[in-house]
Amino acid sequence: MSRENENIALLPNALKTDILHFRASTSKNAILPLMIAALLNPGETWFDVTPGFSLNDVDAVAALLHTCGARVWRSAQQIRIDASDVSPGVAPVSMARRTRYSLLLLGALVSRTGQAEIPMAGGCDIGRTHDYHTEMLRSLGCHVHETATSISARRDHAAHALIRLPYPSVGATLNAIFASCTAQEIRDGTRITLENCACEPEVDDVVDYLCRIGMVIRRQWRTVCIEPRRAVGKKVVYAPITDRIETGTYALAAAILGIKVITHNAPQGCLDAVISVLHSIDCHVAWHDNDLLVDGRSTDRRCGIDVSTSPYPGFPTDLQPILAVLCLGLNRPSTIVDTVMPHRTQYIEALRALGGHISWNEGTITVHPDPAIDPASWSAVDLQATDLRGGAAAVLRSLQIARPCRIANFDQVRRGYSEFDISVKKMGGEISPW
């Protein structure tokens, strides 16, 4: 059950062992759009999820699906969605604000019912807009109307057969794929080609699922072709990929805390950019089947690093705040440029409150090495989790310098890290309500 406005206290303790085991959970950024994609299947979809999987954002999307007439059940290791009857119901503002992925209802509902209306979307407050989404829908034959508080779309005219996204946005790519599935051109038997698409593994996962329910979609690098086909409605069981950002967080934690971390059930082959940063500071990294082993005990802290985030397969923006914590523990200045989400900087305040020397100027985050510190002289500090990854970065920073803290809005972190208290406990931190 989601907790809102949650405040926690975090007490870092000495680590009892320097080898930690984690298990990657179902990917947040795969399951959320998959749940919405399930609206395109006029039947039942059973998503197999990892044991104990629980995220605030999943609860938020489930509530949104209910407003559209879909039925959603949770069992220990499954999320079941019956989308036999779907209507373009309008989600209450409070519900849509809980997740940015309410935006995807536009494409999915237009595809299924011909029209959609949503209140302005929520999610992390990291300066995102929705112009690519509305532009795509217009190109795909929709009349789109925006007010200060809502966006509506309805099928109106023929879709273009070739559409180029202005940027490989993950959400806009997914919305475009959803809306393409039943666009006028598709019904006339012509394929729709989308260019400059996002090719994040989570997009591939959604495409795989849509193919399982009967769509014919092919992706080649940044080009996606959607062939004329409709889902007929059948029961589908689908297992989403595991979370590369959660896995990347624990991989970077190995270097931050100077420990060895083994993440089981990790998604192979989609963390190369993170692994290459770890290699550059002499962390030993190895794969054994689906287990990712990162040995941070050998981390070379003498140099700083310079990293730019970029769309997949580049270094992920979601790990940028966690990377900043790693940089704080290096002995020379580092720079980070987030080309994907240049406004993802709110977390910097929390790291500063935890003694971090970080500046941000014209799109470049500069991280200075920690001065010599005496943890014993530090009292608990009050922080705010401004967003999901920023909140996780604050936790890792607190563990890095063994300084207790109290974090307001910790529910932000629960939007994307399943069973995080258990993981933090493994890393020596005790989370308690405050």
Residue showing the smallest CB distance to ligand EPU in the complex = 171
Using alpha carbons, list the distances in angstroms from residue 149 to 62, 120, 405, 413. Answer: 22, 6, 36, 26
Contact pattern for ligand EPU over residues 35 through 74, marking x by CB under 6 A: ----------------------------------------
Single-letter residue type at 171: G
Angle at 32 between CA 239 and CA 286, to 5 degrees: 55
User: What is d(CA 168, CA 50) in angstroms, rounded to the nearest whole number?
Assistant: 29
Task: Name which of 5, 27, 410, 8 is nearest 243 in CA terms.
Answer: 27
User: What is d(CA 19, CA 185) in angstroms, rounded to the nearest whole number?
Assistant: 55
In whole angstroms, the minimum distance from the beta carbon of 247 to ligand EPU comes to 13
Pick from 23, 112, 133, 397: which binds ligand EPU (CB under 6 A)?
133
In whole angstroms, the minimum distance from the beta carbon of 267 to ligand EPU comes to 14
Interaction of residue 129 with ligand EPU, rule CB under 6 A: yes
Interaction of residue 219 with ligand EPU, rule CB under 6 A: no
Query: Can you name the residues that pair with 264 across neighbouring β-strands?
Result: 23
Location of structure tokens 């007929």: 232
Pick from 36, 388, 392, 427: which binds ligand EPU (CB under 6 A)?
388
Nearer to ligand EPU, 106 or 259 (CB): 106
User: What is d(CA 363, CA 425) in angstroms, rounded to the nearest whole number?
Assistant: 35
In whole angstroms, the minimum distance from the beta carbon of 161 to ligand EPU comes to 22
Nearer to ligand EPU, 388 or 399 (CB): 388
Interaction of residue 309 with ligand EPU, rule CB under 6 A: no
Write out 178-192 in H/E/C secondary structure.
HHHCCCHHHHCCCCE
User: What is d(CA 74, CA 88) in angstroms, rounded to the nearest whole number?
Assistant: 23
Nearer to ligand EPU, 98 or 130 (CB): 130
H-helix or E-strand spanning residue 117: strand 115-119
Contact pattern for ligand EPU over residues 145 through 174, marking x by CB under 6 A: ----------------------x-xxxx--
**Between residue 331 and residue 370, which ones bind ligand EPU under the rule CB under 6 A?**
340-341
- Provide the 3-class DSSP secondary structure of residue 223: strand
Helical axes 201-212 vs 28-37, angle rounded to 10°: 30
Question: Are 120 and 189 a contacting pair, CB within 8 Å?
Answer: no
Nearer to ligand EPU, 96 or 283 (CB): 96
Nearer to ligand EPU, 132 or 259 (CB): 132
In whole angstroms, the minimum distance from the beta carbon of 269 to ligand EPU comes to 17
Tokens of 149: 């508080």
Tokens of 54: 């629980």
Nearer to ligand EPU, 117 or 243 (CB): 243
Task: Name which of 105, 143, 135, 141 is nearest 122 in CA terms.
Answer: 105
H-helix or E-strand spanning residue 164: strand 162-164
In whole angstroms, the minimum distance from the beta carbon of 31 to ligand EPU comes to 10
Interaction of residue 386 with ligand EPU, rule CB under 6 A: no
**Between residue 230 and residue 259, which ones bind ligand EPU under the rule CB under 6 A?**
245
User: What is d(CA 69, CA 89) in angstroms, rounded to the nearest whole number?
Assistant: 7
Pick from 74, 80, 128, 357: which binds ligand EPU (CB under 6 A)?
128
Pick from 8, 10, 24, 32: which binds ligand EPU (CB under 6 A)?
32
Question: Are 277 and 336 a contacting pair, CB within 8 Å?
Answer: no
Interaction of residue 416 with ligand EPU, rule CB under 6 A: yes
Pick from 131, 146, 188, 300: which binds ligand EPU (CB under 6 A)?
131
Ramachandran assignment for 188, one of left (phi > 0), alpha (psi -120 to 50 degrees), beta (any other): alpha
In whole angstroms, the minimum distance from the beta carbon of 317 to ligand EPU comes to 5
Interaction of residue 426 with ligand EPU, rule CB under 6 A: no
**Between residue 63 and residue 122, which ones bind ligand EPU under the rule CB under 6 A?**
100-101
- Residues lying near ligand EPU in the complex (CB under 6 A) are found at 29, 32, 100-101, 124, 128-133, 167, 169-172, 198, 245, 317-318, 340-341, 388-389, 416
